[in-house]
Amino acid sequence: MVWQGEYDRLFIGGRWEVPSTDEVIEVISPYTEKPIARVPAAGTADVDAAVAAARAAFDRGPWPRMSLADRIEVLGRLSAGMRDAETLMAELVSDEMGCPITQSHGIQAVRPRLIVDAMIDLARAYPFDEIREAPSGRARVTREPVGVLAAIVPWNAPHLVTMMKLAPALLAGCTVVLKPAPETPLDAYLLAELLTRAGLPDGVVNIVPAHREPSEYLVTHPGVDMVSFTGSTGVGRRIGALCGGLVRRVALELGGKSAAVVLDDADPESTVSALRTGAFRNTGQVCSAKTRVVVPRGRAADFTDALRAATERMPVGDPADPTTEFGPLVSARQRETVERYIRSGRAEGATVVLGGGRPAGLDTGWFVEPTIFAGVRPDMRIAREEIFGPVLSILEYDTEEQAIDIANDSSYGLNGAIFTADPGRAVQIAERIRTGTVEINGNPVGLAAPVGGVKDSGVGRELGPEGFDEFIEFKSVGLPRDLAMEWT
C-alpha cells in the first residue's frame, strides 16, 4: 500500500471491506497544514460488522483456543514485521501528528516493538493456569481472556499505545476492535498489514477509524466485553460512566500534570538534561510529561537559568529533520488550546522567561514556541490543568514537606520525578507522592513494571505482568484431591 493518498476500505474480519457510508476522515499534516490522506469514517453499521467479526473470532474461532505457545509464535512474527517496518512507521506517525522524526523512531516505532517482545517474555511466566491447595479445598484457578475488547487509542503516540493494549490482550486470547484517533489513522492501516503478514486469524483484530458518535456506539455495543481507553480525562469520565451503567469492564489511562521535585542537593546540569526529555518530548504532547518543576526557592534562579539555556538550544522546525526537537502541535485546535493557557499564565501573574509566542520564520505549521513560566503558584491554571504542549511551569518551595505537598496538590496522579544526589532519600519521598509512577534522577521504570494513574489519571494498569490482569477473567474450579492434573 501507499501510505499517503486515498483509502476506501476498512479492515474488518481479516479483509478490506467497503464502508457503510461515504463519510471520510481527512488527515492533515501539522507541518504543511495540507491534506496527506483520506480514510473512511466508520459508521455504526461498520462498528456492528467489526464487533460481529471480533465476536465470531472469540466465540467460535481458533485464537482463544490456541495454546499460549502458538499465540506467542504469531506475536513473534508481528514483532519481526514491526522491526522491518520501523523506519516506515516512524515516518508515518511523524507525517500524521508532527512528532520529530528522531523521537518518532524511538517512541512511535522501536518502543512499540519492544513492548511486544517484553509482553511475550512475561507471558511465558504468567500464571494462566495453576492449582491452589488449602485445608478448605483444592482449586484449579485459570485466567481466561475477557472476550471482545474495544481498544480506543489517542493521536499523540498511536502505535505505542496500541501495542500497550494489543500485545497483552492478544496474548491472553482476546479479540479486538481497534478505534484509532481521527488525526492518526494511517499507522493503524500499516498495522493491519503487519498483522495479516504475521498470520493473525481473521477477525481477531478489526480497525474502525471513527468520529464521536460511532465511537460511543462502540463503547456501549452489546457485543463488547471490555473497553480500554487512553485519552483525556473528560472523555474518560464519559466512557467510565457508560461502562458503569452497563456493568462493563473498563480500563482508563487518562491525563496528567506530573511534578518533577528537585531537591536542594540536585545537580542542575544532570537534572536539566533529564527534564529535556521528561518534560518536552513529542513537543510536550505526552500525558506523563513533567510539566511542573518544583524547585527550592533559594536555587530557583539557578534552575530557571539552566532550563532556559538548555531549551533555547533545542531546535524547532520540520519534524522530518533529524535535528528537530520541537515539531508542530497536532492541530490548529490544539495550538489554540496551548496559546489560551499561555495567555492565562500571563494574566494570572506568572512570568514568561522563554517563548510565549509562535516561532519566527515558521509561518506554516501549527507551531508554538517552547515556553517556560517562572513565579508560578499552585493555584494557577497552568499549574493545575493539563496543557498538552511545550509549556513548563516552575514552582518554588521552602521545605521538603512543602515540595511534597505541591507535588500532591493536583487532581492528577499519573507520573512524577525526583532529582537529588541522594537516591535513598528520593525513594523515601517517592513513597509519599501519590502517583502511579515516580522516576528518580530520570531513570525510567522499564517495560516489566506497570504504569497507570490514580485520581483523575485513570483506572487500571498497563505493561508488566499486571498488564495481562486487565484482559483476563479469573475462574476457579473445585477439584477432588485425588484428581491428577496432567494439564498443568
Task: Tell me the three state secondary structure of residue 386.
Answer: coil
In a domain, 481, yes or no: no
For residues 207 and 91, state if they share a domain: yes
Structural domain of residue 380, as residue ranges? 258-440
pLDDT of residue 421: 97
Compute the average pLDDT of residues 279-286. 96
**H-type helices in 173-267, by residue range?**
186-198, 212-219, 233-246
pLDDT above 70 for 159: yes
Is 99 a catalytic site residue?
Answer: no
CATH classification of the domain holding 36: 3.40.605.10
- Residues 436 and 472 both lie in one domain: no
pLDDT classification of 486: cutoffs 50, 70, 90: low
Residue 148 domain-assigned? yes
Q: Name the band, by pLDDT with cuts 50, 70 and 90, for residue 482.
A: confident
User: Degrees (nearest 5) of the Cα angle 136, 141, 143?
Assistant: 155
- Beta carbons of 345 and 323 less than 8 angstroms apart: no
Give yes or no for residue 280 having a pLDDT over 80. yes
Distance of alpha carbon 201 from alpha carbon 57, whole angstroms? 8
**Mean pLDDT calculated for residue range 399-417:** 98
Give the per-residue pLDDT at 396: 98
Does residue 103 lie in a domain region?
yes
Contact 41, 209 (CB under 8 A): yes
* Segment (H or E) for 418: strand 416-419
What's the CA gap between 84 and 78, in Å, rounded?
10
Radius of gyration of the chain (CA): 23
Given this model, what pLDDT does residue 375 score?
97
Q: Are residue 243 and residue 332 in the same domain, yes or no? A: no
Distance CA(285)–CA(488), nearest Å, equals 46
pLDDT band at 3 (very low <50, low <70, confident <90, very high): low
Q: What is the pLDDT of residues 314-362, one digit of tens each?
A: 999 999 999 999 999 999 999 999 999 999 999 999 999 999 999 999 9
Asked whether residue 447 is domain-assigned, the answer is no
How much is the mean pLDDT over the chain?
96
pLDDT tens digits along 182-237: 999 999 999 999 999 999 999 999 999 999 999 999 999 999 999 999 999 999 99
Element (H, E) at 310: helix 300-312
Task: Report the distance separating Cα 154 and Cα 230, nearest Å.
Answer: 6
Residue 1: which pLDDT band, with cuts at 50, 70 and 90? Answer: very low
Record the cell numbers describing residue 170, joined without a space.
492478544
Share of the chain above pLDDT 70, in %: 98
Identity of the residue numbered 33: E
The catalytic position among 99, 174, 243, 287 is 287
Residue 93 contacts residue 151 (beta carbons within 8 Å): no
Q: For residue 363, give the CATH number of its domain.
A: 3.40.309.10
Is residue 28 scored above 80 in pLDDT? yes
How far apart CA 238 and CA 232 sit, in angstroms, is 10
Q: Is 462 a catalytic residue?
A: no
How many C-beta atoms surround the C-beta of residue 44 within 10 A? Answer: 16
What CA–CA distance (Å, rounded) separates 221 from 238? 15
**Would you say residue 462 has pLDDT above 70?**
yes
Q: Which three cell numbers stand for residue 111?
A: 518502543
Task: Give how many domains the chain has, as a whole number.
Answer: 2
Regarding whether 262 and 143 lie in a shared domain, the answer is no
Give yes or no for residue 472 having a pLDDT over 70.
Answer: yes
Reported as a single tens digit per residue, the pLDDT across 68-116 is: 999 999 999 999 999 999 999 999 999 999 999 999 999 999 999 999 9
Residues 134 and 50 in one domain: yes
Same domain as 68, residue 53: yes
Percent of the chain at pLDDT > 90 equals 97
Give 252-272 pLDDT, tens digit per residue.
999 999 999 999 999 999 999
Q: Are residues 249 and 347 in the same domain?
A: no
Bridge pairing between strands 226-230 and 148-152: parallel
- Whether residues 73 and 152 share a domain: the answer is yes
> Other CB atoms closer than 10 Å to residue 403's CB: what's the count?
24
Per-residue pLDDT at 347: 98
**Residue 250 and residue 237: Cα distance in Å, rounded?**
11
Complete DSSP assignment for 5-32: EE---EEETTEEEPPSS--EEEEE-TTT
Does residue 487 lie in a domain region? no
Task: Look at residue 2 in the predicted model and tell me its pLDDT.
Answer: 45
Mean pLDDT of 389-417: 98
Q: Do 164 and 283 sit in the same domain of this protein? A: no
Identify whether residues 196 and 280 lie together within a single domain. no
Task: State the distance between the two ends of the chain, measured CA to CA, in whole angstroms.
Answer: 45
Task: Report if residue 448 sits inside a domain.
Answer: no
pLDDT at residue 5 above 80? no
List the beta bridge partners of residue 259: 292, 416
**Pairing status of strand 290-296 against strand 439-440:** unpaired
CA dihedral 356, 359, 363, 365 (to 10 degrees): -80
| CA–CA distances in Å: residue 439 to residues 91, 221, 261, 299 | 29, 39, 10, 21
Choice among 91, 183, 253, 339 that is catalytic: 253
Same domain, 213 and 142: yes
Q: Are residues 220 and 110 in the same domain?
A: yes
The DSSP 8-state label assigned to residue 365 in this structure reads S
Does the residue 207 lie in any domain?
A: yes
Paired sense of beta strands 10-12 and 15-17, if any = antiparallel
Q: What is the DSSP letter of 388?
A: -
Which residue carries 528537530 as its cell?
A: 324
